[in-house]
């Protein structure tokens, strides 16, 4: 796979199963990853494991997203955040 050195990629749902696997894969190819999610505790765990940066917000809140990402320059986004209900 391509070397993602110098590329900042946001992974929503970054502390979950698919999101966490995506964070691990992108970090393995040198991406500067920002894992996003609602749980600070879960994000801290993936950050400790991978060295990614983290940001806490709820995808259902445009205001939280805007506030969290207003000064972030992104190269790409991988949306792994989802709805776990019925």
Residue 82: which pLDDT band, with cuts at 50, 70 and 90? Answer: confident
**What is the structure's pLDDT at 2?**
84
Q: Where are the beta strands (DSSP E) in 1-86?
A: 8-12, 32-37, 53-56, 76-79
Q: Domain residue spans in the chain?
A: 8-79
Helices 17-28, 40-50: inter-axial angle, 10-degree rounding: 30
Name the pTM for this structure: 0.92
Q: Is the pLDDT of residue 84 over 70?
A: no
**What is the structure's pLDDT at 85?**
62
The tens digit of pLDDT for each residue in 13-54 reads 999 999 999 999 999 999 999 999 999 999 999 999 999 999
For 82, the token pair is: 């989802």
Q: Is the pLDDT of residue 56 over 80?
A: yes
d(CA 78, CA 86): 23
Give me the CATH topology for the region 8-79: Rossmann fold (3.40.50)
**What is the structure's pLDDT at 86?**
60
């Amino acid at each position: 796979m391509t070397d993602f050195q110098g590329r900042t990629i946001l992974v929503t749902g970054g502390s979950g199963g698919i999101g966490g696997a995506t964070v691990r894969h992108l970090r393995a190819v040198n991406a500067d990853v920002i894992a996003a999610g609602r749980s600070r505790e879960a994000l801290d765990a993936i950050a400790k494991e991978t060295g990614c940066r983290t940001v806490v917000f709820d995808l259902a809140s445009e205001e939280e997203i805007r506030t969290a990402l207003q000064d972030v320059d992104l190269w790409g986004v991988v949306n792994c955040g989802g709805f776990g209900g019925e």
